Each structure stands twice: as C-alpha cells, then as structure tokens.
Amino acid sequence: MAGFKDKTKKREYGEGKKPGIDLVFKGINYDIGERSILKDVSGIAKQGDMLAVMGPSGSGKTTLLNVVAGRIVADSGEISLSGQPISKRMRKKMCYVLQQDIFYSNLTLRQTLTYTALLRLPEKMPKKEKIRRVEEIVDALDLRKCLDTIIGDVFQRGLSGGEQKRANIANEILTDPMLMLLDEPTSGLDSNTACNLMKIMKSYTQVNNKTVMTTIHQPSSQIYHLFDRVLLMTEGQVAYFGEGSKILSFFSSVGLECSMNYNPADFILEKVNEEKDVQDAILEAANKLRDSEDWPVELHHDYKTKQLAICDKMTSGKINEAYNIDEVKLTMEATTEKDTIKDSTSGKALAVPVTEFDDKTQEQYDDANSMLNDNEKWVTSWWTQYSVLTRRNLFQAKDRILSKFNIIQTMFLALLTSLFWFQMPRTEATLKDRIGLIFFTSIYFGFFSIIDAITAFPEDRAVVNKERSSGAYRLSAYFFAKMSSEIPLIIAQPLVFVSIVFWVAGLNGVTAYFGDLAVIILGAITAQGFGLIFGASFKIFKMSFVAGTMFMLFNVLAGGFYTVNLPYWIGWIKYLSVVLYVYNIQITYEFTNAPPVLCVGGNLTSFPECLNPNVTSIDQSEYLQSISIGWPLWAMHLALFVFLLVSRTTAYLILRFKSTRIG
C-alpha cells in the first residue's frame, strides 16, 4: 500500500512524518453495580505503533476502548494524550471504528465517503482537496474497485464483508485522526482478508505516524506480529502489558512455555483461560512487571505531577524552561538513553520523548498542541452541515420513499380507486360513495407517511448516533435537513394519486383539486412528524410500529366519517385527530361552489326538500353542515399547521433529550 501524506500540512518533520500523539491510560477502574468490569488497567499506545488489546470474551476489551473513546466514564483513572489530560475537544482528534459497519445501505461507497468528507473535513479546506483526500484513502485501503458499489445490507447485496470493514475504517480515517480506536476490525473476516486489512493498517499507521489501539479476538500469528504492544486482559485485569515480542518470555517466567511454531496469540489466550491458579500466577507476574525496568515511565505512579510540570512549560511554549524546573532537577542523558529525561537525584526516568530541544522540536510541540487544543466545536458551519445532509438524505430517502414497490403500490391503488369510483354521477345516490372516497384519501397518505417515518428510523438512528458521537454535525442541522429533504419526496405520491383519482372519480372542479392536494400533502407531512415521534420514543421497532398504528387508528375513528355525533363528554377528543381536519377541509371543498347534487326521485330520497317536485337538487351547504365540524377553511388549515408544528417540535425535543435519542 502506498502511504499518503497530508499535503495540507505546512511543515513535515524528521523522516517526513507529522508529529503524532501518545496515548496513556493509567489505573482505569470501572464497575457496573457490584461487578468490577475494569480493575486498575493501564497501558500506552505510542505514535506510529499499534497496540492490541486481547483477552477472552467478556474480559473488558470493548469496555476499555469505550472508556478511552469517552463513551463510558470510568470510576477512576487517568487518560492523557501526549501528556495532556484528555478533553472533549481532543476526542475530535481520535476516531472510533465500531465493530458493526453502520452506513446507509443504499448509498454507494463513493457517496458515503464523499458526504463524510464534506461533513467532517474543515470548512476552509477546498472541496477539491476533500475529494482528493477521499481518493487517497480509497487507494490506501484498496477500495477503488468497489467505489461505485452500494454498501448493501441483508436485503440487497453490496460490498463484501472485508470491503465493508475497510469502508468503515476509511470513513473514520478521512478526518486524519491522530489516534484510531478499532473494535474488533477483523471480526467476521476470513484469515487472509483479516491479515491484509491489518497489514494495511500497520503500514498506514507507520507511514502517517498514527497511534492505533485495537481490540482483537484471536489473531493469526502473522497478524499478532504486526502489533508493537499487547495488552492482555482477563476478567477486567491486566494479564500482560508490554512489547508483543516479549510476551512469550513473560509467560515463560511464570513457567508457561509455548512450543515452537505455535501461534503465540492462541497460546496466551489459552493460558489466561485456564484454571484459577494459572490465571492468578499470570496476574501476579503481571503485577510484578509494573515494578520492573520494562514498565513504561509514563505509567509510574509519580509520573503525572512531574510530567504535568514539564508539560505546562512546554504547552506554554517554554520548552527550554522545562529543563530547569527546580523541584525535579532534570538532566538529560541524551548520550546513553537518548529518549529519556531523568530525575538527577533519583536517576529515575521522568519523561519521553525529547532528544534535543531545538527549534524543530519546538515546532513539533507547537503543532501537536495546536492540533490537540483546536477549539472549534464544529469543523463545518451549520449551513454546510444542513446542505450536505439535505443532499445525502434526499438521495438516501429517494430510494426508500420512491422505491419501485411504493410506486407500484400507489399506482395500483390509484387504479383500483379509479375503477371503484369511476365517474360518479353527482346525485344524492352517490353521496356516501363520494365522502367515502374523500375519507379514504384523507387517511391513506397519513398511514403511508407515519409508517415510512417509523420504518426508516432505526437505520437513521444508528448512522446519526455514530456520526454525532464523533462530533460530525449538530442535531438541528440533521433534523432540518431530514424535514426539508423528504418533503419533495412525500409530495410526489399524493400528487400522482390525486391527479388521477380526483378527475377519474369526478370530484368538484379545479379549486377543489388544488385544495384537496394541498391538504392531503399537509396531512402527510404532519403524520410524518408523528412517525418521527414514535420512532424516536422507542428503541424497539415493534413498539414504535404498534404505537404508530394505534395513533393512526385513533385518527381514523375520530376523523368524523364513522362517528359524527360522539357522546358529549368525549366529543372534544375528535379535535385531536389530524384526519378530522384533512377530511373536513376536503368535504368543504367538495360541497362549496359546486355543481348541483341531483335528488333521486320519489320516496327514495333522504332529503325532505327533494320531496318538493320543484326542487331537483339537494341543499349542499345544509348537507355539509350535517356531516362536518362546521369550521371555516382557514381555521381548519390553522389547526393542521399547529399539529405540524407541535409534532415536529416534539420529535426534535425527544431526539434531543430522550435516552434513546440521536446524539
């Protein structure tokens, strides 16, 4: 793999490498209830290196990764990046590649990466540069041949498992993070694909001076030898931390010998899984290791204060003064141990990694600090986030809302409805059919929108949660983008349906056509807002679905078609039905300024005025009065707008504050 450098950087250092960061986590403890999940876990991942976190299932690997990523707050312990306590802002310099590959399944890899680049690379970087970065990463991770393949899911084939893993990593490293946290990147891959992936990662890490911490289950020996350091865990404790190459001699010191040609990874995992006395012996030896020469200085108990004193000077730009801190009386023994600063009195190592404090070193520190302390909360403006998300959502939702299946369904229903209500004569005899058709159109698109919003939500929630936890964009940008991008798609189907059915059935003229169309669309958009509420309120899809269906059934029952005269004590409830307003607006258009509705002859009529031989048509305004709530059109439209506003605002607030929320 050809490595790639960030050409946007002004300076390069040493052997052409950018300054990287060292991750140190020390004394991490984390309990859930009575159970200790992590016990005094410490380790280091250095720039240009890969740290493997290994251990049996349930030993706490993912939990540790979550703690480092800031997704879980540890009960105690310290985490620092290049000597500085880790902060929320610094976490933007890291990426977390989840075990699951979470993407919009119907976007191609090119679209997925491009949208990520536009969302997560700095506003000031030109678009051309962002695209170039996508291209570089695609080559680096050997993804070019599948750039135009959709991501896919269980329903539609797309990228292969290995390609999805690489796509997942590519998507995260686009932002050029300094620290990469990978959770089981090889899970589900065959050994060859897994090995290729890890080789690619190794090369990328070295060439670009990145820091990698990865959990891994049972690596092959080829993969195992790619790791610089290994943190072996058992039951939440450190069973070994140190260079991967020294692990067998560590086990040998406990009397556990690995036979030749045996995969060291298999061997160590077998041993930490053995009976309690073997485990205890390993843990005891691991504890002793903490007092040995091999134990990194950064993990010593007294390291923090001294390190911080030096760091304070360094971060305030006074590197040379760091040498002269009285309390610690530093001397640099560059000739014998080039990379270590030592306490002159005790001779104990205090800090790494400076060999010479010249101008170049000062620059490196300036750069590393400016990278870590980047104060921008968002890398792109609200408007950029909104417009990129709108485009992405439009593309992504188009295939869903205007899927072949939905188009066939709408066309089929339009055909069926047209046949059932074909050219109704405008007579008293067809009044029931006429209002039946109007009621059907009032509810159909409401159902359609609410169910669509609920079914689309789980995928949305997963992707947006992932992206928002890496600080990609604001919730409001996502929310407004979702609303505005789906409106044209929601309009498309009622437009086709009403344009066919209205005229074939013979409803009332041009004004009623536009009025009906507008109110059906308004009802559908409002129903979508309620769909969002149910999608956001429940983690379990089935519950959202049941809640959405019950809500729509309530709307239908209280919609004014089945029940006009409710008992007085519950009559108010109908005003909570969105369908009531959509239906009433439509019947108002149908029976106002309309051609006459002819009486049926003789005693068959239900209208007393039709018994008068001089009267040929019914009084439509009186009829309308008898079947409607009698509100003026403007008031009913206003009520619908209030519902629209309330549903959208509630959905937003639920997303913002509920625990199942996005972001």
Ligand X SMILES: Nc1ncnc2c1ncn2[C@@H]1O[C@H](COP(=O)(O)OP(=O)(O)OP(=O)(O)O)[C@@H](O)[C@H]1O
Contact segment (CB under 6 A) with ligand X among 13-21, 61-69, 135-143, 166-174 equals 61-69
Closer to ligand X by Cβ: residue 268 or 505: 268
The least distance separating ligand X from the CB of residue 638, rounded to whole angstroms, comes to 47
CB of 358 to ligand X, least distance (A): 44
Give 3-state DSSP helix, strand, coil % of the chain, rounded to 5. Answer: 55, 10, 35
CA distance 375 to 89: 7
Question: Under the criterion CB under 6 A, does residue 659 sit at the interface with ligand X?
Answer: no
Tell the smallest beta-carbon distance from residue 64 to ligand X (Å). Answer: 7
544 binds ligand X (CB under 6 A): no
Q: In angstroms, what CA-CA distances link 177 with 80, 184, 294, 372?
A: 16, 18, 29, 11
Q: Output 268 or 629, the one with its CB closest to ligand X.
A: 268
Question: Rounded to the nearest 5 degrees, what angle is found at the Cα of 217, between the Cα atoms of 216 and 221?
Answer: 85
Q: How far is the CB of 97 from ligand X (least distance, A)?
A: 14
**Smallest distance from ligand X to CB 409, Å:** 41
Say whether residue 271 binds ligand X (CB under 6 A).
no
Contact between residue 599 and residue 615 where contact means Cβ atoms under 8 Å apart: yes
Q: Which residue has the tokens 């680096």?
A: 140
Amino acid letter, residue 322: A
Q: Angle CA(444)–CA(513)–CA(482) in degrees, nearest 5?
A: 50
Give the C-alpha separation, 40 to 59, whole Å. 13
Among 6, 7, 14, 32, binds ligand X (CB under 6 A): 32
Q: Per the structure block, which two tokens stand in for 142? A: 């050997």
Backbone angles phi, psi at 488, to 5 degrees: -60, -30
Alpha-carbon distances of 313 from 20, 189, 308, 320, 331, rounded to whole Å: 19, 47, 9, 8, 16
Binding region for ligand X (CB under 6 A) out of 11-19, 55-63, 454-462, 475-483: 55-63
Using CB under 6 A as the binding rule, whether residue 60 contacts ligand X is answered as: yes
Please identify which residue in 17, 18, 46, 61 interacts with ligand X, judged by CB under 6 A. 61
Q: Which two tokens stand for residue 143?
A: 């993804």
Q: What are 397's two structure tokens? A: 């939702």
- The residue among 71 and 132 lying less far from ligand X, judged by its C-beta, is 71
Asked whether 503 and 516 are in contact (CB, 8 A), the reply is no
Q: Which is nearer to ligand X, 20 or 60 (CB)?
A: 60
- For the purposes of burial, counting CB atoms within 10 Å of the CB of 169, is it exposed (0-12), middle (13-18) or buried (19 or more)? buried
- Which one among 42, 59, 380, 390 touches ligand X, defined by CB under 6 A? 59
Q: Give Cβ neighbours of residue 157 (< 8 Å, ≥ 6 apart).
A: none
- Choose between 236 and 446: whose C-beta lies nearer to ligand X: 236
Q: Which is nearer to ligand X, 198 or 547 (CB)?
A: 198
The residue among 60 and 535 lying less far from ligand X, judged by its C-beta, is: 60
Q: Which of 14, 58, 596, 630 binds ligand X (CB under 6 A)?
A: 58
57 binds ligand X (CB under 6 A): yes
The answer to whether the CB of 183 falls within 8 A of the CB of 215 is: yes
- The two most distant CA atoms of the chain are separated, in Å, by 121
Region 208-247 residues binding ligand X, contact defined as CB under 6 A? 217
For position 37 contacting ligand X by CB under 6 A, the verdict is yes
Q: How far is the CB of 76 from ligand X (least distance, A)?
A: 17
55 binding ligand X? (CB under 6 A) = yes
Q: Contact region for ligand X (CB under 6 A) — 60-68, 73-81, 219-227, 468-476?
A: 60-68
Hey, what amino acid is at 297? V
Select the span of 59-67, 277-285, 508-516, 538-546 touching ligand X (CB under 6 A): 59-67
Tell me which of 42, 63, 196, 380 binds ligand X, using CB under 6 A. 63
SS3 (DSSP) at 184: coil
Residue 267 or 623 having the CB closest to ligand X: 267
Query: Segment contacting ligand X (CB under 6 A): 54-62, 152-160, 406-414, 577-585?
Result: 54-62
Residues 6+ apart with CB under 8 A from 136: 4
Closer to ligand X by CB, 217 or 400: give it: 217
Closest distance to ligand X from the beta carbon of 543 (Å): 21
Minimal distance in Å, beta carbon 38 to ligand X?
A: 8
Centre a 10 Å sphere on the Cβ of residue 342 and count the other Cβ atoms it contains. 20
Candidate ranges 17-25, 51-59, 379-387, 613-621; the one touching ligand X (CB under 6 A): 51-59
Q: Cβ closer to ligand X: 62 or 193?
A: 62
Q: Show the DSSP H helices in 470-508 as ranges.
A: 475-505
The residues that touch ligand X, with contacts defined as CB under 6 A, are 32, 37, 55, 57-63, 217
